[in-house]
Structure 1
Amino acid sequence: MNTTERAAPAPDPDQPFIRVEGVSKKFGAFTAVDTVSLEIRKGEIFALLGGSGCGKTTLLRMLAGFEAPSAGKIFIDGQDMTDVPPYRRPVHMMFQSYALFPHMTVEKNVGYGLKHEDMTSAERAARVAEMLELLQLTPQAKRKPHQISGGQRQRVALARALARKPKLLLLDEPLAALDKKLREKTQFELTNIQHQTGVTFVVVTHDQEEAMTLASRMAVMDKGQIMQVGVPTDVYEYPESRFVADFIGSINFFSGVVTAKNGDAVQLDVAETGGTLTASSPLDAQIGERLTLALRPEKIRISRDQPEGGNAVPGMVEDLGYFGKDSLYRIKLASGHVLSVSSVNARRAGESARVAQWDDRVWLSFDPGAIILLRGEA
């Protein structure tokens, strides 16, 4: 794919393309989606992220018109779509299974949705050729689905969806059937295709890395509710709740009591580390308040020598794992609390490249700004 082309116009932040207003969906006594309000901009890739049963797919199906809300309204491009049937919405949904016709060639699969469009045969053929070229499927045009790879089948389904030029494309776990390397490659291809076409994408996924790679913005869902909406870097670096902090990536938690505050600098007495830690946080913490401290493993430095000043905690290497590009250390503190620490393997030298080995005494250090302060106890 040509990753240098960015033809789509920049999204207008003042004009939501999709507006979900207080939408709920109940199945008997079970509430799958609970009073969700959400705005999605035109021309962006928006990810709905959450674990199984959180309501993300139900919300996607309501956008598509396959489920009717029990309460609330859904607007697409300024039009109330709450009671509009799926076939009258400017929407296409791409399913996880791809749903290709096994007896049809690639080009016939791509053109299937154009049969009832008001187009001449020449126009249909030109549109199919355009989609095949865009998705790099021209060499596979005469093959059938079983004669091409999983990644190519995924692109056929995407080409078929884009052929009808929908205003909104809904993707339900679009990369789940692909292996890890192909999934990573396809993530960037999807992003580039979206930029070239300008179609608004809404992607449902349970994969945090996939959401953060694909999405311009994302919503984290739990128990039918939206817990946080933001760009991936903000959701990862500035989670608004313990749930979001814990769900996105790996993280360590402590409990601490605020002992002093000077502007954004907050000092806390932390029993697990056996002393005082300093955090830099805009949270309006009060003296004596008990807070949760959250710390990402990659924000922690590990060394054999005691660092000078700052947040420094001694411990012992209880366990470690080697993952090639980095190593994960589990450090046991004097209190018995265990911290996860990630360290990049910058040298190519086997065990000697590691900072420490099992049972080594080490020091952990981290900047005040690396600590995330959250209300509530750990």
Structure 2
Amino acid sequence: MNVIAPSKTGKSSTSPAPDTNPASSFVKIDKVTKSFAGIVAVNEVSIDIAKGELFALLGGSGCGKTTLLRMLAGFETPTSGHILIDGRDMTDVPPYERPVNMMFQSYALFPHMTVEKNVAYGLKHEQMTDAQRKDRVRQMLDLVQLSELGHRKPHQISGGQRQRVALARSLAKSPKVLLLDEPLGALDKKLREHTQFEIANIQHKTGITFVVVTHDQEEAMTLATRIAVMDKGVVRQIGSATEVYEYPNSRFVAGFIGSINLFDGEVLSVIENMATVRVPALGVDVTGVAPRHIATGQKISAAIRPEKIHISREAPPTSSNVVQGTVDDLGYFGKDSLYRIRLDTGTVLAVNSVNARRRPENERVAQWEDRVWLAFDPTSVILLKD
């Protein structure tokens, strides 16, 4: 179990937020299904993407996200359903006639061409003069901050720079929609984090609608205006990074996005907007914000993110949502520490504690085998009916 919660760092921009109202849909995926030899890869998916939005399709291997992207590009034809771009039905339109471009994970740069010629390659069939073509290449290299490297070949620049060349080439034809398939998968962690913000800034500057496929939760949450979480060919939830992380609509989404402690429970009472849930694995009754339409006696799941749990060697001032346990294991990650706490019931809880100040090892919040108290606010408890 990955116990490091994803970054929720946002991006700043002076650009207006795209209108994500379905009525203003720029890319419309309408009940699209795709089957291969009787096996359903995408099952009646409907998504509305706004003009100028940076939208992410997020999911594990085999969830259908890449198949959906290939149907947007025209490389695959839906078995049923329709795909519209800017009001035009693209379902049966070949790839070369669609107002889209695609940036592949491998970047697919020509090794024998310079950076400038790679960017210019997609413009050779455009009705442009040589001067216009050169000006467009210069604009694209300025946009990705590679103007001084135009004479170099791909093997003479870094991985992050090659990624930006591929992005410049994809944008050169001014597509209405740019499709990115795992665009940062070939980069190391630190470079990937830096490039995420570069892509977001370029998207804001151009105003082009981006659709990104990724399996990386942090990447989707950092890049995207909204995220569609996919599983087994269907969309389980669509929302902003905050919505899918803080307010998941199912056990699947809660477990897939970030790390979480997830337990079975039964509703004991519902008073106004608060529910009390019996959670045998914790050995205590848990209070949390009640989802809509729940009733006493109903089976439900209770979930708590590791970073929402406060750990202390001293008893907290409240008695609500408090458990005791022993430190089974701990890990130090610099910015935070992970504790695995074994409760008296035998259940192990993951807890993240932010290292807000420097301290020696012997002054950590807790050490191995320490007896500790854990407390969490009712508003931090996620109660799920599904």
Q: Given the two structures, how large is their TM-score scaled by the length of structure 2?
A: 0.95
Question: Match for residue 82 of structure 1?
Answer: 91
Are the structure 2 counterparts of residues 12 and 345 from structure 1 closer, same or farther at C-alpha, using a change threshold of 3 Å? closer
Q: Answer yes or no: is 1:149 the counterpart of 2:191.
A: no
User: Within 5 Å, which residues of 2 pair with 1:1-378?
Assistant: 6-7=14-15, 10-11=18-19, 13=21, 14-309=23-318, 310-376=320-386
Tell me, in whole angstroms, the C-alpha distance in 1 between the residues paired with 2:15 and 2:169.
21
Deviation per residue, 1:158-204 (Å, 9 max, x gap): 00011100000000000000011110000000000000000000000
Deviations 1:278-335 (A, max 9, x none): 1123332211112100110000000011112221101110111111111100001111
State the SS of the aligned residue for 1:267.
strand
| Partner Cα distance (1:275, 1:132) in 2 | 60
In the TM superposition, residue 271 of structure 1 has moved relative to its aligned partner by 1.2
Q: Is the 8 A contact 2:311 2:374 kept in 1?
A: yes
Question: In structure 2, how many angstroms separate the alpha carbons of the residues matched to 1:237 and 1:213?
Answer: 15
For residues 209 and 225 of structure 2, the distance between their equivalents in structure 1, rounded to whole angstroms, comes to 11
Please give the secondary structure, in 2, of the residue aligned with 1:273: coil
Structure 2: which 5+ runs fail to align? 1-10
In the TM superposition, what is the alpha-carbon distance from 1:277 to its structure 2 partner?
Answer: 1.5
User: Which is worse superposed, 336-345 or 8-17?
Assistant: 8-17
Tell me the amino acid that sits aligned with residue 59 of structure 2.
G
Deviation at 1:8, TM superposition (A): 6.5
For 1:336, what is the secondary structure of its paired residue?
coil
Deviation at 1:65, TM superposition (A): 0.1
Determine helix, strand or coil for the equivalent of 2:229. strand
Number of aligned positions between the proteins: 374
Task: Tell me, in whole angstroms, the C-alpha distance in 2 between the residues paired with 1:163 and 1:155.
Answer: 12
Are the aligned partners of 2:120 and 2:172 in contact in 1 as well (CA < 8 Å)? Answer: yes
Q: Which moved more, 1:353-362 or 1:60-69?
A: 353-362
Structure 1 residues 4 and 299, CA gap change in structure 2 (3 angstroms) = closer
C-alpha distance in structure 1 between counterparts of 2:274 and 2:358, whole Å: 39
User: For residues 369 and 4 of structure 1, do their structure 2 counterparts lie closer, same or farther at Cα, with a shift above 3 Å needed?
Assistant: closer
Deviation at 1:4, TM superposition (A): 7.4
Structure 1 segments, 4+ long, off by >6 Å, are none
- Please give the alpha-carbon distance, in whole angstroms, between the structure 2 residues aligned to 1:247 and 1:274: 25
Return closer, same or farther for 1:301/1:4 CA change in 2, 3 Å cut-off: closer
Q: Which amino acid aligns with 1:17?
A: F
Whether contact under 8 Å (2:18, 2:50) holds in the other structure is no
Q: Mean Cα displacement is larger for which, 269-278 or 249-258?
A: 269-278
Tell me the CA shift for residue 368 of structure 1: 0.4
Give the stretch that moved more between structures: 137-146 or 283-292: 283-292
Whole-angstrom distance in 2 between the partners of 1:85 and 1:122: 30
**CA distance in 2 between partners of 1:135 and 1:153 (Å):** 11
Measure the CA separation in 1 of the matches of 2:18 and 2:266. Answer: 45
CA distance in 2, matches of 1:5, 1:127: 24
Q: Secondary structure of the equivalent of 1:363?
A: strand
Taking structure 1 as the reference length, what is the TM-score of the superposition?
0.97
Q: What CA deviation, in whole Å up to 9, does each residue of 1:31-54 have, x standing for no partner?
A: 111111111110010000000010
Q: 1:9 Cα deviation (Å)? A: 7.1
Q: Is the 8 A contact 1:220 1:227 kept in 2?
A: yes
The Cα shift of 1:12 comes to 5.9
Q: Secondary structure of the residue that 1:98 maps to in structure 2?
A: coil
Is contact 1:346-1:353 (8 Å) kept? no
Change in Cα spacing, 1:209 to 1:4, as seen in structure 2 (3 Å) is: closer
Aligned partners of 1:56 and 1:221 also within 8 Å: yes
Q: Does the 8 A contact of 1:327 with 1:354 survive in 2? A: no
SS of 1:256's equivalent in the other structure is strand
Measure, in 2, the Cα distance between the counterparts of 1:153 and 1:11. Answer: 32
